[in-house]
Amino acid sequence: MQMHWREVIRRPLVTEKSGKAADLFNQYTFVVNGRSNKHMIKEAIELAWPKVTVEKVRVMNMPAKRARRLRRVAVRKAGWKKAIVTLSPGDSIDLFEGV
């Protein structure tokens, strides 16, 4: 099943930890579609940013979370998939282009 690269990559995950990983190890973190695999993610990154080459992709399924509100009401936050993409040395992605 072929997906457009915009369907594979949902958004970048910008946290302090992902910012340090981008600076030190040239790794970028993205929230991706739950049905995508490593090959799809690599292809999507290289299509979205044509000047970069992906060396490695690591994928994690983040579990759903449960919380209680007002004693009896249980709220469930859906699970999601995260990808950490390592780029070749010298390549970088500008996540906040034009901001």
Q: Is 3 helix (H, G, I), strand (E, B) or coil?
A: coil
**Number of independent structural domains in the chain:** 1
Using a 10 angstrom Cβ sphere, with 0-12 exposed, 13-18 middle and 19 or more buried, the burial of residue 87 is buried
Whether 10 is covered by a domain: the verdict is yes
Whether 96 is covered by a domain: the verdict is no
Among candidate residues 40, 22, 41, the one with its CA nearest the CA of residue 94:
22
Whether 16 is covered by a domain: the verdict is yes
Whether 93 is covered by a domain: the verdict is no
Q: How far apart are alpha carbons 56 and 85 in whole angstroms?
A: 6
Q: What domain range includes position 69?
A: 5-87
Whether 97 is covered by a domain: the verdict is no
Whether 20 is covered by a domain: the verdict is yes
Whether 36 is covered by a domain: the verdict is yes
Whether 33 is covered by a domain: the verdict is yes
Query: What's 25's domain CATH number?
Result: 3.30.70.330
pLDDT 10s per residue in the chain (99 long)?
A: 688 999 999 999 999 999 999 999 999 999 999 999 999 999 999 999 999 999 999 999 999 998 877 777 888 889 999 999 999 999 999 887 766
Model pTM?
0.87
Question: Side-chain half-sphere of 1: how many Cα atoms within 13 Å?
Answer: 6
